[in-house]
Amino acid sequence: MVDIGCGSGRFLVWLAKNSGERRNYLGLEIRQKLVERTQFWVTELGLRNVYFMFANATVSFEQIVSSYPGPLSLVSILCPDPHFKKRHHKRRVLQTPLVDSITKNLCLGGRVLVQSDVLDVATDMRERFDGYSDVFEHADRIDKDLQCDNEGWLLDNPMGIRTEREIHAELEGATIYRRMYQKTRCFLPDYSIS
């Protein structure tokens, strides 16, 4: 599992400590001090199935995950920086090259979870993955335990643990918009020249 923009890493540390599944966890974060602090906690706790890396996932995700020998079964992008100003939208983490790389490297049956407490950001992420409907299905169409509202947003967090941002936002009365996708077909990049 890869968590893009893992922040303080507590979400992944909790998963690594408490998940009954045999799974490795990788947190990618653009703020180096957070990575150093979190990796210190991992060492102190003696966890061997979680690692945090200083990286700009928008440009380095492909290089990082393509070198991993096992399957990539889950990618999460949880409450990324919203970059509210229109001229800064290009700084949002989820850009087309990253979606392409996630789509290419995720194993068949693998899932992607996107969530934000900012509707505009959640909608942007959703539209990017909806653009790959030939590869991804909304996971609630496959897994009937995942319930959605009338707009298609998941009603509950499917991970069993909330992020710090999620907890803070909910305490402030904000809605969390989340969507999960499952890869049902192989990704064939379009090499046609326009």
CB 121 within 8 A of CB 82: yes
Concerning whether 124 is annotated as a catalytic residue, the answer is no
CA-to-CA separations, 157 to 4, 29, 67, 79, 83, in angstroms, rounded: 17, 22, 30, 13, 24
CB 21 within 8 A of CB 94: no
Tell me, rounded to whole angstroms, the distance of Cα 5 from its chain centroid: 8
CB 36 within 8 A of CB 60: no
Report the C-alpha gap between 180 and 178 in whole angstroms.
7
Contacts of 38 (CB under 8 A, 6+ apart): 6, 8, 9, 13, 27, 29, 52
Tell me, rounded to whole angstroms, the distance of Cα 38 from its chain centroid: 18
Q: Which of 3, 81, 117, 156 is labelled catalytic?
A: 81
Which run of H or E residues covers position 130? helix 119-130
Question: Annotated active-site positions, please?
Answer: 81
